[in-house]
Structure 1
Amino acid sequence: MKAFLFPGQGSQKIGMGTELAAASSHAREVFEEVDDALGQKLFAIMREGPDDALTLTENAQPAIMANAIATLRVLEREFGVPTAQRAGCVAGHSLGEYTALCAAGAFPLAASARLLKLRGAAMQEAVPVGVGAMAALLGADLEAAAALAEAAAGGQVCEIANDNDPGQVVLSGHTPAIERAIANAKEYGIKRGVRLPVSAPFHCSLMQPAAERMAEALAETPPAALSLPLYANVTAAQVTDPRKVRDLLVRQVTGRVRWRESVLAMVEDGAERFVEIGGKVLAPMVSRTAPDARTASLVTMADLETYAKEHA
């Protein structure tokens, strides 16, 4: 079984999608539809910057989704690799879960863009700039990270946001607590803690106001039936019921991204090949979690052509 994977925030960069748009009308149509849905020239920001505009959460989230769906559309329509026939399941990291649901037909492209624009804005507005922070713990397992987070909290919020792979866990919470965690990481057998360049503390309880806004938005724009099962971030388990998907998307705003466990669950259910669409972040995590799994990252036209030839 193949799993199609979709990256999350941090995978954006200036120039993303430019080659695809130059080579394929199908990619251009995706970027144009997203621009129309949002009423802004998002693809111009993706193509030319400035960098601070692209990294703004409310722009980065729909931009990453648009780039991945454009890549998928080119794979499907230029190279004849239909998602529903070639993949056995989908999964996405954080905002990538919306991309995965778009790929599985649960959300139209325009709705996905609008939901992610709102999600990005809501997450940014939930906590004043400077109040919250995030840190990556390198060389950390989940047990050590949990112990460090508990000790560093000191009455504030310090929680595990992402369990990415066997050697990388991300913490999120109040800035002083995150700084304490970084300072004390080695005492817990963790190689080091690195503060992440983000403007808000994602995937922790401080995001509750954003979760409430997403609950309202998803009530108005609920997911439809899925053509492929989704492995959900907050449960690391397969889901196909649109009503459960909606609830899980709300929980995801404040909940832990259980990516390592999701990969292991997909492997246990028969996934042997993991294909990252529109990024090169998740495939290395998969390799560290499941060394025997085969991975591919599809970003450029050359990547797509090579993949299509191998799987013709």
Structure 2
Amino acid sequence: MSIAFIFPGQGSQTVGMGAELAQAFATAREVFQEIDDALGQKLFKLMAEGPEGDLTLTENAQPALMAVSLAVTRVLEKEFGVGVDKAAFVAGHSLGEYSALAAAGAITLADTARLLKLRGLAMQRAVAVGEGAMASLIGPRTDLALAEAAAVAGSEVGVCVVANDNNHGNVVISGTKAAVDKAIEKAKELGARAIPLNVSAPFHCPLMQAAADEMEEALARTTIIAPRTPLVANVTAAPVHDPDVIRRLLVEQITGRVRWRESMTWLAGEGGVTRFVEAGAGKVLSGMAKRIAPDSEAVPLNSPADLEAFAKSL
């Protein structure tokens, strides 16, 4: 049995996340305190109690989701003797890539928290509210080719690209509002359903270049070492362990496509992964794993009981 730890991205946040882990394990409380100290912010209180509107802000959601993921992996290691090095690979969806790198020891927890806080702020600053948009194209006829065709139509009036290739039946487009609106019309003509997303900025598209520039400067000042477990990167859908390459890909990821379907296909194929373990809030990636690699097992780790059951299964 070959394992990959996978780490969720924005959208998986909920008020109350991490609270059960903190109640059960001192190790989890230590993680949350370290992140609070690094940010000079009572982030865990916001995670546990809300308000939801503040938690959903990109600058808070990104480090908060990482916090839960790292609480899960550190509890697994310290309380159950199951380290991330038991896995063949790690991967993370968008901001989850930072969680994966922190869990694999490539970036310190404090640096990861600060990077994600900045990443959220930089993404928000890059495009004025209301100028950009994102939409999820869904349905059995939705594939990458359909989404690309919709994006080409949208590009006639502005920036529009495929932002997230999540799985067959779920592809996200991003760009200027007028362009995304036109792409939605085209997608519907081609047989897809389209849902405008309630996001504060158009992520993973060229409009994020200013954010990429900010992150390039910040990453240049950050110590990154080779992860204990290879990372399958969003923008290449291939394994990487060289720190300089990781640094470059984290910059490219801001404006580039999240190639999640391809990443999971590679992991289940060439990577030989038979068990995907989702470390952190929610079950979004577990659902995607079952659709992309139906012969594999997908295990979400949210609660103390989940962690105990997983450790016993090894």
Displacement of 1:309 in angstroms is 1.3
Q: Which amino acid in 1 is paired with 2:300?
A: S
- Matched residue of 1:78: which SS? helix
Mapped partners of 1:223, 1:245: distance in 2: 8
> 1:290-301 counterparts in 2 under 5 A?
290-301=293-304
Mapped partners of 2:195, 2:224: distance in 1: 36
- Which deviates more, 5-14 or 180-189? 180-189
Aligned residue in 2 for 1:16: 17
Contact 1:181 1:193 in 2 (8 A): no
Q: TM-score, normalised by structure 2?
A: 0.97
> 1:99-178 counterparts in 2 under 5 A?
99-139=99-139, 140-178=142-180
Mapped partners of 1:87, 1:39: distance in 2: 33
Mapped partners of 2:217, 2:113: distance in 1: 16
1:304 aligns with 2:303: no
- Matched residue of 2:9: which SS? coil
Q: Across the two proteins, how many residue pairs are aligned to each other?
A: 309
Mapped partners of 2:151, 2:23: distance in 1: 46
Unaligned ranges ≥5, structure 1: none
Mapped partners of 1:97, 1:13: distance in 2: 19
Displacement of 1:38 in angstroms is 0.2
Aligned residue in 2 for 1:229: 230
Aligned residue in 1 for 2:220: 219
Contact 1:222 1:246 in 2 (8 A): no
Contact 1:90 1:230 in 2 (8 A): yes
Percent identity reads 60
Mapped partners of 1:152, 1:110: distance in 2: 40
Displacement of 1:297 in angstroms is 0.4
> 1:1-312 counterparts in 2 under 5 A?
1-84=2-85, 86-139=86-139, 140-190=142-192, 192-268=193-269, 269-279=271-281, 280-311=283-314
Mapped partners of 2:49, 2:98: distance in 1: 25
Mapped partners of 1:24, 1:222: distance in 2: 29
